[in-house]
Amino acid sequence: MKHLRDMTLTFTLTWIFWLSLISGRCLSQVVQPRVPPGQQVPCFYIFGDSLVDNGNNNGILTLARANYRPYGIDFPGGATGRFTNGRTYVDALAQLLGFPTYIAPYSRARGLELLRGANYASGAAGIREETGSNLGAHTSLNEQVANFGNTVQQLRRFFRGDNESLNSYLNKCLFFSGMGSNDYLNNYFMSDFYSTSSDYTVKAFATVLLQDYSRHLSQLYSLGARKVMVTAVGQIGCIPYQLARFHGNNSRCNEKINNAISLFNSGLKKMVQNFNGGQLPGAKFVYLDFYESSQDLSSNGTSYGFDVIDKGCCGVGRNNGQITCLPLQQPCENRQKYLFWDAFHPTELANILLAKATYSSQSYTYPINIQQLAML
Could you give the residue numbers annotated as active site?
50, 342, 345
d(CA 144, CA 169): 20
CA torsion, ordered 127, 128, 129, 132, to nearest 10 deg = -80
Nearest by Cα to 285 from 266, 309, 268: 268
**What are the start-end ranges of the E strands in the chain?**
44-48, 117-119, 174-178, 227-231, 284-288, 308-312, 315-316, 323-324, 338-340, 365-366
Amino acid code (one letter) for 10: T
- CA–CA–CA angle 197, 147, 187 (5° rounding): 10
Q: Do 190 and 128 form a contact (C-beta atoms < 8 A)?
A: no
CB-based contacts of 69, cutoff 8 Å, min separation 6:
78, 79, 327, 328
Nearest by Cα to 275 from 133, 152, 175: 175
